[in-house]
Amino acid sequence: GQSLEQPSEVTAVEGAIVQINCTYQTSGFYGLSWYQQHDGGAPTFLSYNGLDGLEETGRFSSFLSRSDSYGYLLLQELQMKDSASYFCAVRGAYSGTYKYIFGTGTRLKVLA
């Protein structure tokens, strides 16, 4: 079966660095993505890792280790606007196509 695990909640202060972990179990593996969702809003795409290593996009970085079935999202120089839920999503092979399964999300609270 397929499953993803990520912490339910993380709290950090403005200006700090926070890491949100994601471990997964899936039928085949074709990529890990991260999404941000503010309360009442739609998920928005942040990053994609298809191969092992670190991908950097501004203050956000995402890491993947396929051998460990593990990835993380790193947020640097935290700002109040980063308070949101963050979802990891793993792309696996299901019924002959390749689709994402989403985790249950990590709620990030940034304190002043």
> One symbol per residue from 28 to 47: x for binding other proteins (CB under 8 A), - otherwise; what is it?
--xx-x-x-----xxxxxx-
Strand 53-57: give its sheet, edge to edge.
3-5, 18-25, 70-75, 60-65, 53-57
Please say which residue, 67 or 97, places its beta carbon nearer to other proteins: 97
DSSP per residue, 12-37: EETT--EEEEEEEE-SS---EEEEEE
Q: Looking at beta carbons only, is 1 or 112 nearer to other proteins? A: 1
Stretch 71-110 residues interacting with other proteins (CB under 8 A): 87, 89, 95, 97-105
The rounded distance, in Å, linking the Cα atoms of 67 and 79 is 33
Q: Name which of 15 and 28 has its Cβ closer to other proteins.
A: 28
Closest by CA to 54, choosing from 74, 36, 34, is 74
Contact between 27 and other proteins per CB under 8 A = no
Tell me the site size for other proteins, rule CB under 8 A: 24
Between CA 4 and CA 104 the distance in angstroms is 8
Which residues of this protein are in contact with other proteins, per CB under 8 A?
A: 30-31, 33, 35, 41-46, 48, 50, 87, 89, 95, 97-105
